[in-house]
Amino acid sequence: GLRPTPDRVRETLFNWLGQDLSGWEVVDAFAGTGALGLEAASRGAARVLLVEQEGAQADALRAVVTRLQGAEAVKVERGNAISVLQRLAPASCDLVLLDPPFDANLYERALTAAVPALRESGWIYLEAPCAWSGEALAALGLQCHRHLKAGMVHAHLLCVA
């Protein structure tokens, strides 16, 4: 059931964010393959938390992190992404990566849980099957900074309004 972020979308996201994420605190809340969080780590993020609910996938992520050189900043946690986001310290994250299963209808709950964890200048990346904008984001205190549609994927870079 994994749907990895397409290479083109991942490349665009990190072009939007900048190539150097030195010192950033990052949470990849629906980690899946871990590609987004591991990319953030490779660009200098100080800490990356990969959250994955499926036990076998979390174990696979731990194995990947163990094999990677210089991945000491990456931690894998098995758990419910929304619960993990809700327990994060306020204003503790520079980047929250949200790519929930498209059919799980978790977007609003995930965004609501992520907003308090964001630092003032922080970002939320949201990957969804449809565009999020306007009133839906404003109600959550967010605005869309960048948007890209690639195939069936809508990629959003969101910030606090």
pLDDT for the residue numbered 26 = 98
**Residue 95 predicted with pLDDT over 70:** yes
pLDDT for the residue numbered 5 = 81
Beta strand 153-160 with 142-150 is: antiparallel
Cα 151 to Cα 16, 78, 154, 158, distances in angstroms: 19, 30, 8, 20
Angle between helices 7-17 and 35-42 (to 10 degrees): 40
Chain segment 109-145, per-residue pLDDT in tens: 999 999 999 999 999 999 999 999 889 999 999 999 9
CA angle 143, 17, 60 (to 5 degrees): 105
Q: Closest Cα partner for 107 from 87, 133, 89, 88? A: 133
Whether pTM > 0.85 for this model: the answer is: yes
CA–CA separation, 12 vs 105, rounded Å? 25
Residue 93 is which amino acid?
C
**Residue 60 predicted with pLDDT over 60:** yes
CA–CA separation, 158 vs 25, rounded Å? 16
pLDDT for the residue numbered 133 = 85
Q: What percent of the chain has pLDDT above 70?
A: 98
- pLDDT bracket for residue 1 (50, 70, 90): low
Mean pLDDT over the full length of the chain: 94
pLDDT for the residue numbered 4 = 73
